Amino acid sequence: MFKPEALRLMKAKRPEFPQIEEFCRSPRAFLHHLDKAGVDRAVLINYVAPEVIGFTAGVNQFVADYVKEDPRRLIPCGSLHPRHSANIMADVEHVVRLGIRLIKIHPPHQLLYPNDYLRGVKELEIIYRAAEANGIPVMFHTGTSIFPGARNKYGDPMFVDDVAVDFPRLKILLAHGGRPLWMQTAFFLVRRHSNVFLDISGIPPKLLLKYFPRLEEIASKTLFGTDWPGPGVPDIGRNLDDFKALPLKPEVQDQVLGKTALRIWPE
């Protein structure tokens, strides 16, 4: 589905790209890769962004089929797009029926603000209501994107504040902690709202404590991820090793590496 210019960025500095293509075909090969990296479970991020990346709603069926190999270890993330849905009610129902366990909204690639339901985009409200009612968390991409055509004004996490207020039972994950521009906003929102969590994927672990010096204070709501194979994330295992090398208390490491995620997706 990739547009050529987006695919070019995915392939840059990625000599092992054929291996990634193999993982897309074979969940078994990917599970083996996770074994070698020491990773028990992975959330597989997919989203609908036809204009900037090329992804259509077909990603939902793709990931639902993919995780059948091992639904305990592979957690399907899907998505919806307000401007690319002829019948949002039916599409939301379809996503729920497929067993999608996380919905990703990607404002800089979907070209919308998380709180656009306040300006007439009713589809967004329907998505959040359905996610809330079905206990499906919603992850927002926060922070910049270097993909051609991405619009970075949408990446400011502050626009998620309204969503946290208006949908108090919706579990909200701030992907990438607003990096590299809005870490303070992300930290504030996680402390301000009981339903907002911090996802550290996409942040080079070596920079994590520079970005979030008070990480331990929000450890109970912080979860590890890598954003691999996104640009700038070379390797899952290396991210994990770099995280483990940080000067964090063992209980904080356990919390971020597993316990927070287990609260969101119990086994």
Using CB under 5 A as the criterion, which residues of the chain lie in contact with Zn ion when the complex forms? 141, 175
Angle at 30 between CA 27 and CA 36, to 5 degrees: 145
CB of 264 to Zn ion, least distance (A): 17
Cα distance between residue 190 and residue 164, in whole Å: 10
Of 175 and 198, CB closest to Zn ion: 175
Please state the closest distance from residue 109 (CB atom) to Zn ion, in A. Answer: 8
Measured from the CB of residue 251, what is the shortest distance to Zn ion in angstroms? 28
| 8: helix, strand or coil | helix
Choose between 43 and 215: whose C-beta lies nearer to Zn ion: 43
> Looking at beta carbons only, is 77 or 257 nearer to Zn ion?
77
Which residue minimizes CB distance to Zn ion? 141
Alpha-carbon span 252 to 162, nearest angstrom: 29
Name the residue nearer to Zn ion (CB basis): 95 or 175.
Answer: 175
Q: What is the dihedral of CA 179, 184, 186, 191, to 10 degrees?
A: 150
Q: Which is nearer to Zn ion, 101 or 141 (CB)?
A: 141
CB of 162 to Zn ion, least distance (A): 20
From the CB of 202, what's the least distance to Zn ion, in Å? 6
Smallest separation (angstroms) from Zn ion to the CB of 28: 26
Of 37, 40, 23, the residue nearest 74 (C-alpha):
40
State in angstroms the smallest separation of the CB of 154 from Zn ion.
12
Q: What is the β-pairing status of strands 42-44 and 172-175?
A: unpaired
- CA torsion 68-74-75-81 (nearest 10°) is -70
In the DSSP assignment, the letter for residue 49 is B
Closest CA to 207 of 215, 197, 218: 215
Given the complex with Zn ion, which of 175 and 218 has the nearer CB atom?
Answer: 175
Strand order in the sheet with 138-141: 42-44, 74-78, 102-105, 138-141, 172-175, 196-199, 222-223
- Residue 3 or 141 with smaller CB distance to Zn ion: 141
Cα 249 vs. chain centroid, distance in angstroms? Answer: 25
206: tokens are 């070596």
